Amino acid sequence: NAGVTQTPKFQVLKTGQSMTLQCAQDMNHNSMYWYRQDPGMGLRLIYYSASEGTTDKGEVPNGYNVSRLNKREFSLRLESAAPSQTSVYFCASSKMAEGAHPSTEAFFGQGTRLTVV
């Protein structure tokens, strides 16, 4: 059981280049999330997908696009990378809430370390 898998683990981009960060989960979770973490700071939500076919903006969506390809996969795209997007990116997934209870815990991938020069 791999959990949440992110690829690549490391990437260096030049300013203006584009790339897609891939995320896949094998836990049959409905909801998936993309976060970024800058040095010494907590995680900030970029985009999330409550369920297959839906996506919504989080706290810091500018400069990013997402695609919920299917239930398992949620990708994050940088169309024109900027040095301000140098960060560690985490993907997460969780079950959808049932009844009166919130969804259970979110599971995180190991991160993608992106440097834009």
Cα(42)–Cα(32) distance, rounded to whole angstroms? Answer: 18
> How many helices, marked H, and strands, marked E, lie in the chain?
0, 11
Interface stretch with another protein, choices 11-19, 20-28, 31-39, 67-75 (CB under 8 A): 31-39
Task: Rule CB under 8 A: say whether 1 interacts with another protein.
Answer: no
**Applying CB under 8 A, what is the total number of residues that bind another protein?**
31
Task: Rule CB under 8 A: say whether 34 interacts with another protein.
Answer: no
Beta bridge partners of 20: 77
Q: Other CB atoms closer than 10 Å to residue 25's CB: what's the count?
A: 23
Residue corresponding to tokens 């009166």: 100
User: Would you tell me which residues interact with another protein (CB under 8 A)?
Assistant: 4, 30-31, 33, 35, 41-45, 48, 50-51, 58-59, 88, 90, 92, 94, 96-98, 102-103, 105-111
